[in-house]
Amino acid sequence: MTALIHTLDIAGRHLRNFSRQPWYIAFSLVQPIIYLLLFGALFKRVVELPGFNTGSYATYLTPGIVAMSALFSGGWLGVTVVSDLDRGVLDRFLVSPVSRSALITGLLIQTGLVTVIQSLILIGLGVLVGARFAGGVAQVVVLVAAAVLLTAIFGALSCAVALIVRKEESIIGVVQFLLLPLTFLSSVFMAPALMPGWIRQVSRFNPLNWAVEIGRSAPEAASLDWSLVLTRGAGLVALAVVATWLATRAFGAYQRSI
Amino acid sequence: MTIQAAPREAAAASNDTDLAIVAHNLVKTYPGGVRALNGLSLAVATGTIFALLGPNGAGKSTTVKILTTLSRPDSGSARVAGFDVVARPSSVRRAIGYVSQKAAVDPEATGRENLSLQGRIYGLRGRELRRRVDELLERIGLAEAADRVAGTYSGGMQRKLDILMGLIHRPKVLFLDEPTTGLDPEARAELWAEIERLAREERLTILLTTHYLEEADRLAARVAIVDQGRVVVEGSPEELKGELRGDTIRVELADGATEPRVQAVLEHLPGVRDVTLQDGAVYARANSGGQAIPVVLAALERAGIPVAAATVARPSLDDVYLRYVGRSFDAAGEKGTER
Ligand SMILES: Nc1ncnc2c1ncn2[C@@H]1O[C@H](COP(=O)(O)OP(=O)(O)OP(=O)(O)O)[C@@H](O)[C@H]1O
Ligand SMILES: [Mg+2]
């Protein structure tokens, strides 16, 4: 009970600080919007190739961009942890009755909510440039849920890196050298049928790809492919739990260094 | 230089009911091989103020981090508010307040929000929380700035907020790591008065670290001088000053280069002892400064050493400090002050 209250207290702190800089949302959307519009225009006719199962690249691309944006939101989360460390704010929490897991999940809740907002904005923009969600509201809901889970997984991992390495540069490194390649090793931009074989194999183990698959689980049919949604969703949930646990353990690594 | 036997009571503190803090033989080596603590022991009676005094890098902050459960000792043991810091960290955490050396406020939250979150963490809610927050803000003169984002506070205001955050939940034991560093003299005096009042009224036990001898002298019932990871001497300010029988003679030289010679000359004078060098001046002790000064000056003149000034002073905590860690000032400086 106390743990839950603490989690909400911590989430409340991050939400309040976030609400003081609402322009951050706009800023964080610049990159996904550029991808959505530029790639959308550049590859418009790629759907004429077999394998996309849709006549509109916007329909294909939008769930991918939503997932990618969620991935990066999570990836940057460690920056918040590093700045809390630098300011001594985290040390103060660590000698208080707040549990380590509340510190992580509180932050994840805030980032998850931001991901919901970002996802809805991107979905709206996608629809404006021609994307269609044949699965209707259900498809949008599972896409957003998958995006939130993706944020949680990579957010928690980013926090763990932040606690172990304690430098902002390391977070930048993770984003550049891990998340960017992860994006191209997935079906965000390209249909699996058209990928080189090895990329297709790698992408099967890429959680970003799971989220994208969930988001596209109703290509032309009106109803979702629930078995796909549930299996990929279970995978994402499991990874989110493991990543959160890892991040919680990383406090130990930090405390051993001070 | 002799290293005196450390705390007299600390080791024998098996009956800790009236001891809020007991540390026994703490050792801490940081990754990279820096031995920050090297067998540090201390004991603090409930409801008293205890000061850790020492040069940069002596191990003061490390001690505080271990006692607050932030860091773990390699060996040795410590109890705070009756709980072992390694075995029962969460019980310790509920009983303590911690104000770290560096102000730890959330710059994006207002003063009030910083305090409220801190209070909620310890279970204060609703009206009770609001009342406590208002009371504290009022008491330390932050009420007007309370609804401004803390990032806009001056360093001194942040420090005050920081200290309030350590107090909000009425801890039993409060750790203040260099609480007044960076405050102007007026703010410092106010804070001293506040700390004294708290210790008295709330029967709060306070362990503070400081570089200011004046601060330790004014606030602390007992002082431990820490150097190179251990307590070199411990006692009440009066006891420590009393150990230095007699007055301090300070001779400022016209030409600093001759210092070692001065020491050689003075060491053999009758009635003069504990000759030390510090910042281009020579310090010595004498039972009666008034009688020793002419003798000292005559001897220096005979040796052809020009003197710029000579003074006599009653013993102060400065002298105690100098006696125990004076020679290590330079060494301590070289070790660096990172963190
Ligand atoms: N996290 C750390 N990693 C490595 N070495 C450290 C760390 N923290 C402190 N040290 C080293 O341990 C020694 C003791 O440091 P500590 O911070 O306890 O000193 P202090 O007495 O508080 O000094 P100051 O008066 O400068 O605050 C120093 O040599 C310091 O460089
Ligand atoms: Mg210190």
- How high is the pLDDT of residue A185? 95
**Closest to B99 measured CA to CA, from B19, B209, B226, B24:** B209
- The number of domains in chain A is 1
pLDDT number for residue B257: 56
- Judged by CB atoms closer than 8 Å, whether chains meet at A88 and B100 is answered as yes
Nearest CA-CA partner of B321 in B234, B191, B205: B234
**Weakest-pLDDT range from B10-19, B111-120, B144-153, B188-197:** B10-19
Structural domain span for residue A85? 2-257
In angstroms, what separates the C-alpha of B336 from chain A's closest C-alpha? 16
pLDDT at residue B326 greater than cutoff 90: no
Whose CA is closest to atom 22 on ligand 1? Answer: B61
Q: Which ligand is nearest to the CA of B211?
A: 1
Q: What is the pLDDT of residue B339?
A: 33
Q: Label residue B12 by pLDDT band (50, 70, 90).
A: very low
The residue-averaged pLDDT of B12-33 equals: 82
Domain covering B8-241, topology: Rossmann fold (3.40.50)
Structure tokens at A39: 């790639």
Chain B residues touching chain A at CB-CB below 8 Å: 30-31, 65, 68-72, 90, 93-94, 96, 98, 100, 102-109, 113, 117-118, 120-123, 149, 165
Mean pLDDT for all residues in chain A: 93
Q: How confident is the model at residue A219 (pLDDT cuts 50, 70, 90)?
A: low
Nearest to B213 by CA among B195, B205, B225, B229: B225
* Pair A188, A208: CB distance under 8 Å: yes
Report whether pLDDT(B328) > 80: no
Q: What is the B67 CA–ligand 2 centroid distance (Å)?
A: 14
Tokens 């099967």 locate to: A204
Residue B94 with chain A: CB contacts under 8 Å: 97
Arithmetic mean of pLDDT over chain B: 85
B198 vs B136: CA distance, rounded Å: 12
Which pLDDT belongs to residue B5? 42
> Which of A44-53, B220-229, B323-332 is predicted with the least confidence, judged by mean pLDDT?
B323-332
pLDDT for B245-259, tens place per residue?
778 888 887 765 567
pLDDT tens-digit readout, A76-119? 999 999 999 999 999 999 999 999 999 999 999 999 999 999 99
**Atom 29 in ligand 1: residue holding the nearest Cα:** B57
**How far is the centre of ligand 2, averaged over its atoms, from the C-alpha of A249 (Å)?**
27
Average pLDDT value for residue range B63-91: 97
| Partner residue facing B68 (CB), from A5, A93, A95 | A95
B35-46, pLDDT tens digit by residue?
A: 999 999 999 999
Q: Map residue B23 onto helix, strand or coil.
A: strand
CA B16/CA B45 separation, integer angstroms: 9
| Alpha helices, DSSP H, located in B140-275 | 155-167, 185-201, 213-219, 237-243, 259-267
3-state class (DSSP) for residue B252: strand
Contact criterion met (CB below 8 Å) for B66 and B77? no
pLDDT-wise least confident of A11-20, A217-226, B95-104 = A217-226
How many angstroms away from the CA of A248 is the closest CA of chain B?
15
Contact residues on chain B for A16, CB-CB shorter than 8 A: 109, 113
Of A14-18, B4-8, B299-303, B333-337, least confident by mean pLDDT is B333-337
Q: B71–A258: do the CB atoms touch at under 8 Å?
A: yes
pLDDT at B266: 82
Query: Can you tell me the mean pLDDT for A112-128?
Result: 97
Ligand nearest to the CA of B336: 1
Q: What average pLDDT does range A143-160 have in this prediction?
A: 97
Confidence (pLDDT) at B242: 75
- What is the sign of the dihedral through the CA atoms of A116, A122, A125 and A131? negative
| SS3 assignment, position A245 | helix
Question: What pLDDT is stored for residue B183 in this prediction?
Answer: 82
Q: What is the pLDDT of residue B212?
A: 84
With beta carbons less than 8 A apart as the criterion, state whether B209 and B60 touch. Answer: yes
User: SS3 breakdown of chain A: % helix, strand, coil, rounded to 5?
Assistant: 80, 0, 20
Per-residue DSSP letter, B110: B
Looking at residue B327, its pLDDT comes to: 52
The residue-averaged pLDDT of B70-99 equals 97
**Which among B31, B70, B93 has the least Cβ separation from residue A91?**
B70
Q: Which pLDDT value is given to residue A127? A: 96
The whole-angstrom separation of Cα B37 and Cα B25 is 9
Q: Say how many C-beta atoms besides its own lie within 10 A of residue B1's C-beta.
A: 12
**Rounded Cα distance, B213 and B320, in Å:** 9
d(CA A156, CA B327): 49
CATH fold label, B245-314: Alpha-Beta Plaits (3.30.70)
Q: pLDDT tens digits, residue range A13-66?
A: 999 999 998 888 888 899 899 999 999 999 899 998 888 888 899 999 999 999
Q: Which helix (H) or strand (E) holds B53?
A: strand B49-53
**Closest listed residue to residue B226, CA positions, set B46, B14, B61, B19:** B61
Contact residues for A92 (Cβ-Cβ < 8 A; gap 6+): B98, B100, B104, B118, B165
B332 band by pLDDT with thresholds 50, 70 and 90: very low
Which residues in chain A have their CB less than 8 angstroms from residue B81's CB? none
Helices (H) and strands (E) in chain B, counts: 12, 14
pLDDT over threshold 70, residue B1: no
DSSP sequence for A125-190: HHHHTT---TTHHHHHHHHHHHHHHHHHHHHHHHHHHHHHH--HHHHHHHIIIIIHHHHHTTTSSS
To test the contact with chain A by mutation, choose from B90, B92, B100, B120 the residue with the greatest count of A C-beta atoms within 10 A, namely: B120
Domain with CATH 3.30.70.980 in chain B: 245-314
Segment A225-239 shows an average pLDDT of 95
The tens digit of pLDDT for each residue in B282-317 reads: 888 887 778 888 888 888 888 888 888 888 887 777
**Tokens matching residue A241:** 């739990």
Structure pTM? 0.85
Inter-residue long-range contacts of A254-257, CB under 8 Å, 24+ positions, other chains counted:
A254/A85, A254/A163, A254/A164, A254/A166, A255/A94, A255/B70, A255/B71, A255/B72, A256/B31, A256/B72, A257/A166, A257/B30, A257/B31
Answer for the pair A156, A81: CB distance below 8 angstroms, yes or no. no
Query: If you average pLDDT over residues B217-239, what whole number do you get?
Result: 92
Q: Check residues B242 and A256 and name the one with the higher pLDDT.
A: A256
Where do you find CATH 3.40.50.300 in chain B? 8-241
User: B186: CA distance to ligand 2 center in Å?
Assistant: 23
Out of A6, A20, A87, the one facing B104 most closely (by C-beta) is A87
**Averaged pLDDT, B204-226:** 92
* pLDDT tops 50 at residue A69: yes
Average pLDDT over residues B313-326: 75
* Weakest-pLDDT range from A68-82, A114-128, B190-204, B316-330: B316-330
